[in-house]
């Protein structure tokens, strides 16, 4: 995957756009349509004590996730990227879509450094996300933070 090109495409889509929902919706679509072997790509937004569902592409999803629960809530609470090769082995995994087998979750921040939410990407294939994917998606997340 050419993540540099993906970031350039995202930057072109978000240039001059001042609406967060619009930026997040196009980002979710770009990721979902560009990366192979996904069944969900989108965002959960930080609220006091929980994450709420934001723009996404894929099957219907959980609406609320408590901080510290599941892969998304854990990544948000720890403020670190989590790559989970097999979600069924993750303690407290929340199965919003039974087809999901692997997941990567990257925290997103405001310009002041506060948690904005998380980028969540699921795959029906175990071990889907490589170190290259992690680095590329973290670079994508940085571009996204700058656009928000």
31: nearest Cα among 135, 148, 122: 122
pLDDT at res. 115 = 98
pLDDT at 12: 98
Buried b / exposed e over 79-115, threshold 16 CB at 10 Å, is eebbbbbebeeeeebbebbeebbbbbbbbbbeeeeeb
Q: For the chain, which domains are there?
A: 3-147 (3.30.450.40)
Q: Strands across the sheet with 115-123, in order?
A: 64-66, 50-58, 40-47, 115-123, 102-109, 82-84
What pLDDT shows up at residue 29? 98
Per-residue pLDDT of the chain (148 residues; tens, 9 = 90+): 999 999 999 999 999 999 999 999 999 999 999 999 999 999 999 999 999 999 999 999 999 999 999 999 999 999 999 999 999 899 877 777 778 999 999 999 999 999 999 999 999 999 999 999 999 999 999 999 999 9
């Amino acid at each position: 995957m050419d993540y540099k090109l993906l970031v350039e495409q995202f930057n072109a889509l978000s240039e001059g756009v001042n609406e967060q929902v619009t930026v997040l919706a196009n980002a979710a679509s770009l990721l979902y349509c560009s990366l192979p072997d996904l069944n969900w790509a989108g965002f959960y937004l930080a609220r006091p004590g929980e994450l709420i569902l934001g723009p996404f592409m894929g099957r219907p999803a959980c609406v609320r996730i408590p901080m510290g629960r599941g892969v998304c809530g854990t990544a948000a609470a720890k403020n670190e990227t989590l790559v989970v090769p097999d979600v069924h082995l993750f303690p407290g995994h929340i199965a919003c879509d039974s087809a999901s087998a692997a997941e990567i979750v990257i925290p997103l921040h405001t310009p002041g450094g506060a948690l904005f939410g998380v980028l969540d990407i699921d795959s029906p294939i175990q071990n889907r996300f490589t170190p290259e994917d992690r680095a590329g998606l973290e670079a994508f997340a940085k571009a996204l933070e700058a656009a928000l």
